[in-house]
Structure 1
């Protein structure tokens, strides 16, 4: 008997994770991806224990460890004065506390790890250069139209999983009013070789630098050979895209008056890319019939809790658990998947928006925040999000 067929739209981290998870429970998966070549999008990704447990279940965690970094510490810095506000041990300590490692990895490396596993899996067919045009449910099946190479193809399956990002074509057909919300901020991204930085900024530590109206994140990637930088500033330009060239002088103007350490990090890269920050309002429904959403297509969120990729990976684990052995009742299985995921992802979305306000406080509110951080331990900051990190697939 032929294995049941499923179509996944999108070959990002969520789409590849979903394909692997579904193949592991016996589904044949066709992945349709618009890009002709799967290339780097963005820069670093932080993977907390909730994500690494899922990667372990997919059988790819050890391969990911080879190209990732297990940070020794997490440190919150006063961006202007250059002093630490709070610090928490990471590495073995945090793995013991939350039941899994916290890793930092280059997005391209994580995608490559997943892609290697996908290409080894005989039940997965990855088709590049296919743009989803729409879908139609028919009795017992969903037909997905995709254009590529000047022709229109139709791919059919028992289900369609829309993992096609914040500007999802699948979501647009399901929920035409659920539009991305521009949050009036931009993330500036770069990586820099560790040898280009002072030794005290090249160690295996994740740093969060806070200042009025802006913040900066730095952590090692590429097995420690590079440091990933993400600077978040106010921005009125809502042009969407990962790869928009950015003016380093403009970026540095946002950080005038910041500490010498922070400005040394910002001055190190020769090239920056700017990314407009969008998220989604939590939706009341993700799907209908044989169609559902996953990852950013369902719950795009601001990056301030470092949970965007992690929540997509979690989605994949739950989706596969609900579909396993239930090919005879796909719609009901998809609704159970949605019911298990919607409240949690909405809570993470809302919490990420809240952190956007906290990170960028100015004046007396900023001083009060810093006093609270100094009074509490870094471990207490991590404990605040135990509800995220302790989640089990």
Structure 2
């Protein structure tokens, strides 16, 4: 049973990250009110850079926040620039300066995560975000879902959206517990001040250096004030899954010993890196239970090898808001539709992201040479069109037409 007015359900969103705030923003755009509960005392995004591909850019434009985003975003001229680990030989590169807009109607950008969070936050009324509210339990036994917070407060809602990340409280009330498997990989993240970065790293390019058991990606962010580094390497068993665990530059350098000296110099110029384990999670068979659902990493955590984590959370938010706006009086039905629309796509992205780690990390030899040769035969910008051309409005219209 819904609350006092079935046309304006009370919607609680757990998590004030990119996905949670995007959900609040798209719900507001659809004429629905929500309250965001974030456990941190301030809205912030740890980590560093991310890629805003055309599928995310068109949705941010729809929210009316692109102008603000472009103040700090870097528009990429070159993407998927694969380089050989030992000498920097360019194996392939894509012209994004003209190709993206021609194919998909939007450019590709790189941004600092905190800058993206802030521009999405600008589309959400300040009074609808409550900070310092850590949810400890979700009870589905009453007429309406009930949220209990660490300070003892209990909040009921007609609809609950779990945008609370990989350690989601909401997920535990929906799906059978599935322990994460250790992937055997760890990730390093670091920022290099732009005035300390070599010129090759300051280009408006997303560059991927690939080699045995490792790869490293770099691109400029924050209007060129920084260069973002993210690297992947074999990991020991003692790492934690955390955005805030730190490593040392020496540990980072050791992983890339013997690589092209230019890359080594770039790492050496970095600020203190973060380091964390990549845990492997199988796709969930379902995201929703009655009037409760999941969004973003809580629903479909994925390896970052296609740079689509934030984009998929934003897509989730756009589809979810449309489903709820069209059936506000029957949230369970609306959420089943949302799940049916989104789960196949995100499951596919989880699979291709998982497979990419093996491809990028081949040891030198016949398979590696065949992979390198294939770069000249394939066009990633076109081959990944199923990712970048996606528009929730088009997808939902097609679903309706199909009956």
How many Å separate the matches in 1 of 2:257 and 2:115? 33
Counterpart of 1:283 in 2: which secondary structure?
coil
Displaced runs of 4+ in structure 1, greater than 4 A? none
The question of 1:63 aligning with 2:68 is answered yes
Q: Which residue of 1 aligns with 2:353?
A: 352
Shift of 1:186: 1.2
How many Å separate the matches in 2 of 1:238 and 1:176? 25
Shift of 1:139: 6.1
The question of 1:132 aligning with 2:135 is answered yes
Which of residues 37, 42, 47 in structure 2 aligns to 1:42?
47
How many Å separate the matches in 2 of 1:30 and 1:40? 19
Q: What pairs up with 1:302-341 in 2 under 5 angstroms?
A: 302-341=303-342
How many Å separate the matches in 2 of 1:271 and 1:137? 43
Tell me if structure 2 keeps the 8 A contact 1:178–1:283. no
TM-score under structure 1 length normalisation: 0.94
Counterpart of 2:209 in 1: which secondary structure?
strand
Q: Which residue of 1 aligns with 2:92?
A: 86
The question of 1:267 aligning with 2:256 is answered no
Counterpart of 1:39 in 2: which secondary structure?
coil
Which of residues 368, 385, 390 in structure 1 aligns to 2:370?
368
TM-score under structure 2 length normalisation: 0.92
The question of 1:146 aligning with 2:149 is answered yes
The question of 1:19 aligning with 2:24 is answered yes
Q: Which residue of 1 aligns with 2:395?
A: none
How many Å separate the matches in 1 of 2:56 and 2:272? 30
Q: Which residue of 2 aligns with 1:210?
A: 210
How many Å separate the matches in 1 of 2:179 and 2:121? 29
Shift of 1:140: 5.3
Counterpart of 1:100 in 2: which secondary structure?
coil
How many Å separate the matches in 1 of 2:329 and 2:175? 26
Tell me if structure 2 keeps the 8 A contact 1:205–1:220. yes
Tell me if structure 1 keeps the 8 A contact 2:198–2:266. no
The question of 1:241 aligning with 2:246 is answered no
Structure 1 residue runs of 5 or longer lacking an equivalent are none
Structure 2 residue runs of 5 or longer lacking an equivalent are 393-403
How many Å separate the matches in 1 of 2:300 and 2:281? 6
Give deviations 1:315-362, integer Å, cap 9, x for gaps: 001101101142210000000000001111000000000101101011
Q: How many residues align?
A: 384
Tell me if structure 2 keeps the 8 A contact 1:207–1:219. yes
The question of 1:224 aligning with 2:224 is answered yes
Shift of 1:280: 2.1
Q: Which residue of 1 aligns with 2:36?
A: 31
CA RMSD of aligned residues (A): 1.6
Tell me if structure 2 keeps the 8 A contact 1:184–1:238. no
Counterpart of 1:67 in 2: which secondary structure?
coil
Segment of structure 1 superposing worse, 276-285 or 102-111: 276-285
How many Å separate the matches in 2 of 1:168 and 1:320? 20
Tell me if structure 2 keeps the 8 A contact 1:278–1:300. no
How many Å separate the matches in 1 of 2:203 and 2:311? 24
